[in-house]
């Protein structure tokens, strides 16, 4: 079985300060991991993905995430928050197997960016 | 189109009526997913189609919910005898392959269903 835990339901940062959104996963198989962002009344957009090629993954809009197998973590970071980063962020785990249910979503982290 | 298209974008229906939600996946994507997102909640898996394989219906919350995918492309999610608790945003996603490690899902904008 696989699961994803997003440790913070809400994160609030000031503009220009670093962002850290935490995600821990469990998976019986070698996982693929994704971060999606959802702006208000918008669809889900892929930020970045880990597919075992490199543990540090760079995504769009200056976001990056590091896969740490020993800690079963895939935390999302950004050095300097921008007002436009305010949104909900979802950590997602997928694995390669015959099981039909491939994508497991975390419960989401709402990021607020203060001026 | 270039992305996953869902229609309608908004649907208001009376309790007890049936509704159909449509999803046009990205051309060539063999995997198609339906999720439900209730207000303030995460994404709830509903159903998954992969090519010609039997769909995984294990996420459907009741027998009032059904879905089909015709010709391996367009999918329709049907909710019969709608209830107020069915009010949510229904999201469709497609993926170029399901059994590869590098699978990511591309999401549509969703259909916001309101049952009054």
pLDDT digits (tens, 9 = 90+) for B57-90: 989 999 999 999 988 799 999 999 999 999 999 9
A30: closest CA of chain B, how far (Å): 9
- Considering its fold, how many domains does chain A have in total? 1
Residues of A in contact with B93 (CB under 8 A): 44, 103
Which pLDDT does position B13 carry in this prediction?
Answer: 97
At A99, is the pLDDT very low, low, confident or very high (cuts 50, 70, 90)?
very low
What are the residues whose beta carbons fall under 8 Å from the beta carbon of A54, sequence distance 6 or more? none
| Residue listed under structure tokens 């009526």 | B17
Distances A57 to A4, A53, A67, B79 between C-alpha atoms, Å: 18, 9, 8, 40
In chain A, the residue whose alpha carbon lies closest to the alpha carbon of B54 is: A100
Q: Which residue among A43, A101, A104 sits closest to B109, beta carbon to beta carbon?
A: A43
Whether A46 sits inside 8 A of B58 (CB atoms) is: no
Q: How confident is the model at residue B103 (pLDDT cuts 50, 70, 90)?
A: low
Phi and psi of A113, rounded to 5°? -115, 120
Range of the domain at A30: 3-114
What domains, with CATH codes, occur in chain B?
Answer: 5-103 (2.60.40.10)
| pLDDT value for A100 | 46
Question: Any idea what the CATH number is for the domain that residue A45 is in?
Answer: 2.60.40.10
Q: Answer whether residue B100 shows pLDDT above 80.
A: no
A34 vs B contacts (CB less than 8 Å) = 104
Run of H or E residues at A23: strand A23-26
Residue whose C-alpha is closest to residue B73's, from B24, B7, B2: B24
Helix (H, G, I), strand (E, B) or coil at A85: helix
Per-residue pLDDT reduced to its tens digit, B10-29: 999 999 999 999 999 999 88
Tokens for A76?
């999302």
Q: What is the pLDDT of residue B102?
A: 54
Distance from the Cα of B23 to chain A's closest Cα (Å) equals: 14
List of residues 6+ apart from A72 with CB closer than 8 A: A24, A25, A26
């Amino acid at each position: 079985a696989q699961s994803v835990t997003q440790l913070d339901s809400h994160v609030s940062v000031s503009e220009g300060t670093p962002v850290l959104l935490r995600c821990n996963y469990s998976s019986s198989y070698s996982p693929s991991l994704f971060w999606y962002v959802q702006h208000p009344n918008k669809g889900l957009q892929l930020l970045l993905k880990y597919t075992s090629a490199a543990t540090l993954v760079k995504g769009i809009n200056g976001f990056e995430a590091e896969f740490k197998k020993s800690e079963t973590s895939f935390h999302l970071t950004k050095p300097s928050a921008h007002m436009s980063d305010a949104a909900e962020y979802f950590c997602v785990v997928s694995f390669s197997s015959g099981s039909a249910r491939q994508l497991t979503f975390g419960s989401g982290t709402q990021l607020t960016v203060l001026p | 189109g270039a992305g996953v298209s869902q229609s309608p974008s908004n649907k208001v229906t009376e309790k007890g009526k049936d509704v159909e939600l449509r999803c046009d996946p990205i051309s060539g994507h063999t995997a198609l997913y339906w999720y439900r997102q209730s207000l303030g909640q995460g994404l709830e898996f509903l159903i998954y189609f992969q090519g010609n394989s039997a769909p995984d219906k294990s996420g459907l919350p009741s027998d009032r919910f059904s879905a089909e995918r015709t010709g391996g492309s367009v999918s329709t999610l049907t909710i019969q005898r709608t209830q107020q608790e069915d009010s949510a945003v229904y999201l469709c996603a497609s993926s170029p392959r399901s059994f590869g490690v590098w699978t990511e899902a591309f999401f549509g904008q969703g259909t916001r269903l309101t049952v009054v």
